[in-house]
Structure 1
């Protein structure tokens, strides 16, 4: 026996260690047997991630399976169950590998090039068509532009190569520039259009949509100009029974969706109709970008995605209907299950609503067999089934946010899930006793207490979901929304009324159209109230913050730490019925610690995300953003001195700035020293209102007289945005010099008195002088401004020049090129810039040519010293 200090320590410590070990073992065993689906779902995720980042090794996976089997049969009794579960890891790794291999092996991918090409495709519609407003419907310059588009997905069976069709396999998204009301799921179609791939990210900070469409098992897109390009025909072969059943379900769901859309549009207008279709039917394509941004910054964007909250309201209505008709328990269960199935099919079967349907189905079946259903275990089952159906959904942001929100609500709204049934029954009896005591109080006090308790709980749950999901939302959407706690509570009752009245309207109008008038009016008015709440919440100062994304490892670390904290919570907690666990697991001390840890993480993530990317030894750095036919050049003269030359692109009448935002945020930029607007063409400034909402801007620079033009209606929202944000506007003209720390900005054009000519002729030509080299940005310069420029002092040869007017061959670009003699030319343009004549014209002085449409974003670095003073880097060849 040990003695002395060492012996006393051992004697005291050993029982404590054994107690902790026994507690952990017992808790792990209870988790293993009471929450098996959660453990299986976690192991499935591990297997998928192993194949995603490491790659499957058949030998290793085989040894894994053999080892798990040996451990299960002959290993220690206590670990046999977990050993059997470990087989899930290689199984889901192989499932992900097979899914990826099948997608990559589709023959359709071989016929898709980097750019669109004419194609004739035979296919079968496998998803009900949806309608959306045409992106160019509001273009003033385009006459007879269709106002609506039809979108649907097809399974391709053959593609015409030359004069013959060649059998192929794959799936594609089809866009038709006219509404097709007669198209149904299962129809065989011949498509005459342009086939193209989904474009990868062409700018730093831009999301990769290729992975999003990959999750939907789509290989490319087909654009058809009009309805004549879609020829419906009878299928050559009858589909297999499973395909026929899927087509029948798709036709049924598509017909219900079509009838529902017609009913809602009869009772709504242009303001409420798109939100009604998104909220009730999950058809969100018609919601305009401004409304999407308002929903995003208020944390209520889930209104556009049919999810568990929507399905819960539908289930409540189904329960009311079952009570009204006097259905028994099993009849109630059948009605709820059928309602979930139909609503899931009508709304498109998106993963969040499928997850919610699985939870409802498990709960309903537990009522049928009269067995308790553990919510967190049911959530694990939903995750397992979704990943089995499509393992790539593990990367879906919508799925991740859906499971995070539901997990948070379950954990914060329940007692210890590992408590025995006896403890739960005792807690239930005590809660019933408390309710009886409350009912004995005066009615006013009783109802006031109920309302205050309900509001307190609603705010608590809303705050919990906001805090837990904030890191992922921040990482993916660049926004933090404290106002979402209040906005979601305020919108909750209105959302219930709008969804319920909308569904009632659809149902009643199928019986007799006038029956839906009252409920349709209620739905319309309720959605207008919801829209007003969202608009006011989006305008509250400090209600949201646009920020660069924190590093991925920082977000992953947050959720790993959160999971560890949740799993370790309650170890050693008493489950004695005399000392029951409180209904709210977040005690005051734990809440203070959790909020403090969350605040420290936010501070660290904010510091990491807003630290500017270093410039190394470059004198200046400029990034030509790929915005299509338009211009946006990010200029950095120091890590904290960032400017923007122009900010717009053709067809952007709604004022989106996502491409430019991503580039700025990728640099850690939240503040702009200035935005230079070259001239009054909308494809050079129409993203300004959105930029002013997201970034602090010191000043707006324009050529003389630009803001005073009365005949340019596109300037109206620009003036309003500048007034709203109180940004000073300054004019620069020829001869103005503005010294920065590392370079000198010189205005070469226009003169102080505007030239007689178009806006293009008065474009602001800016030259950046960095030591002995330079870069010139001429906007859309054309005659007579071209003659004025070339008659001025001539710059030294060998710099970088942006092609005037996006490389247009009709703007006398050759005159400017001969005068400037650049060694590098960058063309910021769309499809027209890909014409071989454009590149040949830009090589007039032997210069190297980069085209944003072909090369994606282009980064130009100027060095004041060294043999290589100009460095050009193309995003699609060498991302940074």
Structure 2
């Protein structure tokens, strides 16, 4: 063979993957617009200019420069997509005129889909409230009433309606009376931003109605729509699963088949989360892959040409994607399955990485903000890891003809056993690789991980695959042979029961959840850049395995070194930081003492206790704090301590303090909390007036109230009043102090304070004027869920400055070692020094 023929043969064997280059380019454009928010005009001019330059370079045959220019044009196109999705709304969009405060509205619009029933779930702990049954109604806004006239409005949203019965249908025009709000942004650093999430999904309006009568039909359903068959199919599947499967398991079946988790029990959801197997509940490519494998195994026996089974599988895959609302992980998996089907139809070999890049590009075109979502990132990283592992194993596997011959001569029971062992071994290795590769992302987004996922994922795949296959069989039987439906449902209940019980038993008897502040964003990005580069070099045999491991180990060392440096810096800190965490109507104050010690004063809120624990956790993790040296519970009100169980679960605590009265005469909820504290073997101690906590030589933590016997009145009057003094500057935390406790405090010598937390969340009924005159604060911080609680509008020079955590978010007070005036800053606006 001549040199020219050899070169031609090499070119013929070359596999081109152009989308692998286009995917990073369009991603950079999306990230660029998200970071810098360039104008649409700039993106349009850039795109048009780059495309003209690309055409000119192609005409001049400057291929390399033309390729770079085209990639830049694709990046500009990505920026245009993100800017349009994030910023461009109709002028009639209802959310443009809403705020986080509730506003009564009267709306007219159309029901988009069947209402979803949300059954009231029993509280999972004594600290939670029982909520009523609700309905979630997909709704398209068309008009809003302004005075006596109706004006045009727009927007897609859901109406949450309390009640047991609701009679509305898709396509029906209705009149709605509701409380409207716009999703509120994060009030604390590191907290989940509901406003950004709603904006990314273009559903910023939130509607809630107290009664079904607030929704009144005003017209017959609209004419037939192409989406009607999809709605009917989705409603039919949901109804069949709810009717055929026993209660308690129907929610799990609907979750893994349709991706709807409304009926899933909270305890089941929490068990999957704590065992690290929640990815089995999130509808992903794994589910579609199992369904496609099962369907193709049946379709192979269809009589007809060879292209018929993959063609039918392609149609079924497309139908399933539409059925489950085209979620990004499903879209990704459907493109991979579709590429496989098309390749079989045209007798070509599919290229995996090109198909994966195509899926990524399609997700960006569908919704550019999806690439910032944890589920999308984890889905693509996981499937890329599995693909790399398969390629690496194929590259390193060496065939042994003699060993293959020996295997052929073994008895079939031995063959089955050995095949099963090898299969589980490969699944275990795959689960381990995926867990290790996705661990930085999991810790960064969720701050929790469980090694149990390595063992449970291979085990649970079998019953989940069987459950998905039987679900398809159940739906087919309900249409073709209705009499067989109960038998198929009985069979289906067993793998569902096995999954649920396995996860629940593991959580109860062998729970192992690792809670962590997680790595910083720059380290996570660097980790995946290093990992992707090393993986490519390894699979192309350009870098030995030992050097690859060394490079990854070096980057891990950088991460641990950064964490160690942060810990050393925290222990060497010489200032005192007091953070008023925004938890709604409640109290949560974190005090960071010099040299790295941490004190928590209360953690609770009126309403969901998990929200209080999650808000504090976000603040602690943003500061890199893993341990609390002491926790003080001010008094026996749930909105001051009901978030502590979440905190005790996630962080180590040195000791818990409460008043003598609270320990001797506890309420039922306090008894539950104290029992939990004792079971965790955390020291429980009491405090009374005159006592001091020794935490740092230069910091005085003094209890001003109550005495051991307390005062007459409610528990509010016996709140623990904590005075923090550092280098001549003072912060006062009075809890819910009210009369006659207030009089018991102010009868003592006045104490001039710099910052005071408003007693009883700034309530006017606490009559705190005499208290403020006694302590003369320069700053008053209100920890409340109402934005209306502020200082007097006609405040004069020299009067206290008021800050409300409901409006300003987290408020941080910093006392320096030099004794200078405190620096006060809020999360939503800069503080005044």
- Per the normalisation by structure 2, the TM-score is 0.88
Which of 247, 267, 278 in structure 1 is aligned with 2:246? 267
Contact 2:605 2:612 in 1 (8 A): no
Structure 2 Cα separation of the partners of residues 27 and 91 of structure 1: 37
Give the Å deviation of 1:413.
1.1
In 2 relative to 1, CA 416–452 (structure 1 residues): closer, same or farther, beyond 3 Å? closer
Contact 2:272 2:278 in 1 (8 A): yes
Give the Å deviation of 1:664.
0.8
After superposing the two structures, state which structure 1 stretch, 195-204 or 47-56, moved more: 47-56
Q: Deviations over 1:661-687 (max 9, x none)?
A: 001111110010111111222211111
Aligned pairs (5 A) from 1:227-242: 227-234=212-219
Give the Å deviation of 1:250.
4.5
Aligned pairs (5 A) from 1:413-562: 413-414=390-391, 438-509=407-478, 515-538=484-507, 543-562=512-531
Match of 2:3 in 1: none
Structure 2 Cα separation of the partners of residues 714 and 797 of structure 1: 36
Give the Å deviation of 1:297.
4.0
Structure 2 Cα separation of the partners of residues 28 and 646 of structure 1: 70
Match of 2:593 in 1: 637
Match of 1:700 in 2: 656
Give the Å deviation of 1:87.
4.4
Match of 2:647 in 1: 691
In 2 relative to 1, CA 156–97 (structure 1 residues): closer, same or farther, beyond 3 Å? same
Structure 2 Cα separation of the partners of residues 557 and 141 of structure 1: 41
Match of 1:51 in 2: 33
Structure 1 Cα separation of the partners of residues 488 and 550 of structure 2: 48
Structure 1 Cα separation of the partners of residues 681 and 123 of structure 2: 32
Q: Secondary structure at the match of 1:631?
A: strand
Match of 1:16 in 2: none
Aligned pairs (5 A) from 1:233-632: 233-234=218-219, 244-246=225-227, 248-263=228-243, 266-269=245-248, 272-287=249-264, 291-322=268-299, 329-414=306-391, 438-509=407-478, 515-538=484-507, 543-571=512-540, 589=546, 592-593=549-550, 596-597=553-554, 599-600=556-557, 603-604=560-561, 606-607=563-564, 618=575, 620-632=576-588
Structure 1 Cα separation of the partners of residues 407 and 34 of structure 2: 55
Q: Deviations over 1:565-613 (max 9, x none)?
A: 233334467xxxxxxxxxxxx9864775476356435534643675666
Give the Å deviation of 1:407.
1.0
Structure 1 Cα separation of the partners of residues 495 and 568 of structure 2: 44
Give the Å deviation of 1:353.
1.3
Structure 1 Cα separation of the partners of residues 815 and 9 of structure 2: 62
In 2 relative to 1, CA 208–550 (structure 1 residues): closer, same or farther, beyond 3 Å? same
In 2 relative to 1, CA 289–825 (structure 1 residues): closer, same or farther, beyond 3 Å? farther
Contact 1:136 1:651 in 2 (8 A): no
In 2 relative to 1, CA 374–879 (structure 1 residues): closer, same or farther, beyond 3 Å? farther
Q: Secondary structure at the match of 1:878?
A: coil
Q: Secondary structure at the match of 2:462?
A: helix
Aligned length: 822
Match of 1:61 in 2: 47
Match of 1:194 in 2: 179
Match of 2:774 in 1: 819
Give the Å deviation of 1:86.
5.7
Structure 2 Cα separation of the partners of residues 706 and 651 of structure 1: 22
In 2 relative to 1, CA 734–808 (structure 1 residues): closer, same or farther, beyond 3 Å? same
Are 1:785 and 2:785 counterparts? no
Match of 2:198 in 1: 213
After superposing the two structures, state which structure 1 stretch, 228-237 or 430-439, moved more: 430-439
Structure 2 Cα separation of the partners of residues 57 and 27 of structure 1: 43
Structure 1 Cα separation of the partners of residues 595 and 211 of structure 2: 49
Gaps spanning 5+ residues in structure 1: where? Answer: 1-22, 574-585
After superposing the two structures, state which structure 1 stretch, 633-642 or 794-803, moved more: 794-803
Are 1:75 and 2:61 counterparts? yes
After superposing the two structures, state which structure 1 stretch, 746-755 or 713-722, moved more: 713-722
Give the Å deviation of 1:152.
4.1
In 2 relative to 1, CA 33–748 (structure 1 residues): closer, same or farther, beyond 3 Å? same
Structure 2 Cα separation of the partners of residues 362 and 678 of structure 1: 62
In 2 relative to 1, CA 186–562 (structure 1 residues): closer, same or farther, beyond 3 Å? farther
After superposing the two structures, state which structure 1 stretch, 104-113 or 508-517, moved more: 508-517
Gaps spanning 5+ residues in structure 2: where? Answer: 1-5
Contact 1:203 1:857 in 2 (8 A): yes
Contact 1:134 1:177 in 2 (8 A): no
Match of 2:826 in 1: 874
Structure 1 Cα separation of the partners of residues 724 and 294 of structure 2: 65
Match of 2:683 in 1: 728
Give the Å deviation of 1:198.
1.1
Structure 1 Cα separation of the partners of residues 374 and 616 of structure 2: 22
In 2 relative to 1, CA 747–453 (structure 1 residues): closer, same or farther, beyond 3 Å? same
Match of 1:35 in 2: 17
In 2 relative to 1, CA 766–51 (structure 1 residues): closer, same or farther, beyond 3 Å? closer
Give the Å deviation of 1:273.
4.6
Contact 1:27 1:571 in 2 (8 A): no
Q: Secondary structure at the match of 2:261?
A: coil
In 2 relative to 1, CA 835–747 (structure 1 residues): closer, same or farther, beyond 3 Å? closer
After superposing the two structures, state which structure 1 stretch, 77-86 or 38-47, moved more: 77-86
Aligned pairs (5 A) from 1:161-180: 161-178=146-163
In 2 relative to 1, CA 781–469 (structure 1 residues): closer, same or farther, beyond 3 Å? same
Q: Deviations over 1:76-124 (max 9, x none)?
A: 4677677666643333333333333424866324311342211122233
Give the Å deviation of 1:202.
0.3
Give the Å deviation of 1:74.
2.4
Contact 2:121 2:265 in 1 (8 A): no
Q: Secondary structure at the match of 1:489?
A: helix
Structure 2 Cα separation of the partners of residues 27 and 762 of structure 1: 88
Structure 1 Cα separation of the partners of residues 178 and 160 of structure 2: 9
Give the Å deviation of 1:199.
0.6
Match of 1:580 in 2: none
In 2 relative to 1, CA 608–258 (structure 1 residues): closer, same or farther, beyond 3 Å? farther
Match of 1:15 in 2: none
